[in-house]
Amino acid sequence: MKVAILAGGLGSRMGEETERRPKPMIEIGGRPVLWHIMRHYARFGHRDFVVALGHRGEVIRRWAAELATLGPAHLRVDLDRRTVEPIAEDDDPALRGWRIELRETGQGTETGGRIRRLRDAIGRVRFMLTWGDGLSDVDLHALLAFHETHGRLATVTAVRPPARFGHLALDGARVATFEEKPARAEGWINGAFFVLEPAVFDFIEGDETRFEHGPLQRLAQEGELMAFRHEGFWHGMDTPRDRVALEAMWASGRAPWIAS
């Protein structure tokens, strides 16, 4: 099954980080967020990727070309022989067999428009879709099985985001309870990690369409959008603060999305 990844947005809330590279190319643990997302899909056997490019798309094209020629490896450079030889740093089966198709989808195109521009690359078949800036340990086997049981056009993964502030339960002016950043206080939100039937393309009008507005709203109104509830880890990377938090998880050796 093909996996579509949107990687063309401006990522303006990341500030200077995205002036010279797209947000999916910001590194966590020395690897682009895009690499982490793709590795997660590959762990579940989904290795055929279609990436929608836009802002600074040339950075992703260059990275993909280098990945194909050098791979995630150490290098041995012989100046006399003028050779560069990759030395595999591990034998991670999730890194094998990737096929990456890069599609330019325009600088100012909205999310729905980017998805629609991938139509020819995906074909009239079921596919998976996610954004290029969210990390999760969602069970993709369970997600797909859920989608197959309900028979609707679309499944979205519903997640509980990490709370940014402590939660207060008030009884008048008295603090009844205090919890330090409880995730459950935030409720359910769109965590991406979609499974979509090809008819979803027909809900997207053009480049100016935001997928989160018209298409998903119409799908919900027509009873064609179902939610797969993921109680585990999910963390978006919208701000520099998010990047710091994800980098700290990686450095601690307890990055939930990178399970072996």
Locus of tokens 């990275």: 63
Question: Number of folded domains in the chain?
Answer: 1
Output the pLDDT for position 45: 96
* Structural domain contains residue 258: no
Output the pLDDT for position 57: 95
Output the pLDDT for position 66: 86
* Structural domain contains residue 30: yes
Locus of tokens 């459950």: 184
Output the pLDDT for position 19: 83
**Phi/psi class of residue 73: alpha, beta or left (left: φ > 0; alpha: ψ in -120 to 50)?**
beta
Output the pLDDT for position 128: 98
* C-alpha–C-alpha distance, residues 209 and 116, integer Å: 9
* Structural domain contains residue 125: yes
* Structural domain contains residue 91: no
* Structural domain contains residue 193: yes
Output the pLDDT for position 120: 97
* Other CB atoms within 10 A of residue 103 CB: 18
pLDDT in tens, the chain (260 residues): 999 999 998 877 787 777 889 999 999 999 999 999 999 999 999 999 999 999 999 999 999 998 877 666 677 888 998 887 777 665 678 878 999 999 999 999 999 999 999 999 999 999 999 999 999 999 999 999 999 999 999 999 999 887 665 656 666 656 566 665 555 555 789 999 999 999 999 999 999 999 999 999 999 999 999 999 999 999 999 899 999 999 999 999 999 998 75
Residue ranges making up the domain that contains 196: 2-68+96-253
- Strand pairing of 2-7 and 234-236? unpaired
* C-alpha–C-alpha distance, residues 144 and 137, integer Å: 14
Residue 124's alpha-carbon distances to 4, 168, 184, 225, 249, in angstroms, are 14, 49, 38, 19, 39
* Structural domain contains residue 144: yes
* Structural domain contains residue 83: no
* C-alpha–C-alpha distance, residues 248 and 20, integer Å: 23
* CATH at 48: 3.90.550.10
* Structural domain contains residue 87: no
Residue 154 parent element (H or E):
strand 154-159
